[in-house]
């Protein structure tokens, strides 16, 4: 993702100028200067596929009338469109404001292209005068799901917002199912928004998803080693504003006698007392398996121990 701090100058510029139409282009765009008559163009420091979803909504909240995301110069347009698509579904609610994706130049007129890292400064800033007019800028230290929620709540709470129901509009959060979950917790630890939780109690590990924190980045799906997590759709935008947690999996769990870590078991393995790591270390104390020829020469109790026999 593009670092939030790198986008603060753009948000500050939007607050000062309140552009009628703001176009955002990828850093790799060869020539984004061909735009519509009243558009301002900003070339980002990265690809649009790395743009946090809350940024275009924050731009609308800060005064932009329309935010156009330029895919015509993106080298990964298909993946970028999939990432940004949930923003277009909000059009019925945000009208007449909105976010749209453009696959071709929006016009023939050439205009100067602003660099996101070096946005123009107003005269007041050059004179070291305060510039506190307008809505406050979002806190760059807030998590993405909080900034997205705040921007959505601010826009849909405006008097001019449509009465369309957010529950009918697909949002960014992934609707997940878990099949074959082993309760390893890798997905929980890798989720940047802490949308997943794994709680072990009374011999059962429960994996839960909080849709109000999920921004649909898909990191958890990629990190799941047994490939147990599968996206089956998107949660509605209303889930972002508040939704109860959803249980994805309940897995029978035991506590390792050796290291104390929880590990999953099947109904046929209820007698296991060691997790997979400790079982391997017990069977191979020297970090490798003993050749069968060497085991045959050892006393039977020692050979049985090296084989992991109880």
The beta-strand segments (E) located in 122-245 are 170-178, 196-201, 204-209, 229-236
Among 31, 21, 44, 27, which residue's Cα sits nearest to residue 104?
31
Report pLDDT digits (tens) over 281-302: 777 766 666 778 888 888 888 8
User: Residue 200 in contact with residue 253, Cβ under 8 Å?
Assistant: yes
Report pLDDT digits (tens) over 195-211: 999 998 888 999 999 99
Query: In terms of DSSP bridges, do strands 262-264 and 246-255 run parallel, antiparallel, or are they unpaired?
Result: antiparallel
Peptide bond into 171 cis (omega under 30): no
Report pLDDT digits (tens) over 49-87: 999 999 999 999 999 999 999 999 999 999 999 999 999
Domain positions in the chain are 4-164, 171-253, 256-307
Task: For the domain covering 171-253, report its CATH number.
Answer: 3.30.70.3270
SS3 for 34? Answer: strand
Q: Quote the pLDDT of residue 132.
A: 57
Running DSSP on this structure, what letter comes out for residue 14? H
Q: Write down the pTM of the prediction.
A: 0.79
Report pLDDT digits (tens) over 182-191: 888 899 999 9
């Amino acid at each position: 993702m593009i670092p939030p701090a790198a986008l603060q100058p753009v948000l500050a510029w939007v607050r000062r100028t309140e552009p009628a139409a703001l176009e955002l282009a990828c850093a790799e765009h060869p020539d984004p200067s061909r735009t519509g008559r009243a558009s301002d163009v900003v070339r980002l420091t990265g690809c649009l596929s790395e743009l946090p979803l809350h940024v275009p909504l924050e731009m609308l909240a800060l005064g932009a009338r329309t935010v156009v995301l330029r895919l015509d110069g993106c080298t990964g347009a298909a993946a970028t469109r999939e990432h940004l698509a949930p923003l277009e579904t909000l059009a019925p609610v945000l009208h007449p404001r909105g976010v749209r994706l453009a696959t071709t130049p929006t016009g023939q007129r050439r205009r100067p292209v602003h660099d996101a890292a070096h946005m123009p400064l107003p005269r007041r800033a050059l004179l070291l005068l305060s510039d506190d007019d307008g809505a406050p800028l979002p806190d760059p230290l807030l998590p993405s799901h909080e900034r997205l929620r705040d921007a959505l709540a601010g826009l849909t709470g405006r008097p001019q917002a449509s009465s369309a129901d957010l529950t009918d509009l697909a949002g960014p959060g992934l609707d997940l199912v878990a099949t074959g979950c082993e309760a390893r917790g890798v997905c929980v630890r890798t989720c940047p928004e802490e949308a997943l939780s794994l709680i072990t109690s009374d011999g059962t590990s429960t994996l839960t998803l909080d849709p109000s924190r999920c921004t649909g980045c898909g990191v958890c799906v990629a990190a799941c080693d047994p490939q147990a997590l599968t996206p089956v759709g998107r949660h509605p935008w209303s889930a972002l504003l508040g939704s109860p947690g959803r249980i994805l999996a309940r897995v029978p769990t035991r506590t390792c006698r050796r290291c104390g870590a929880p590990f999953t078991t099947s109904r046929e393995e209820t007698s296991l007392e060691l997790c997979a790591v400790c079982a391997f270390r017990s069977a191979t104390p020297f970090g490798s398996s003993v050749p069968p020829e060497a085991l045959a020469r050892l006393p039977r109790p020692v050979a049985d121990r090296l084989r992991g026999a109880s």
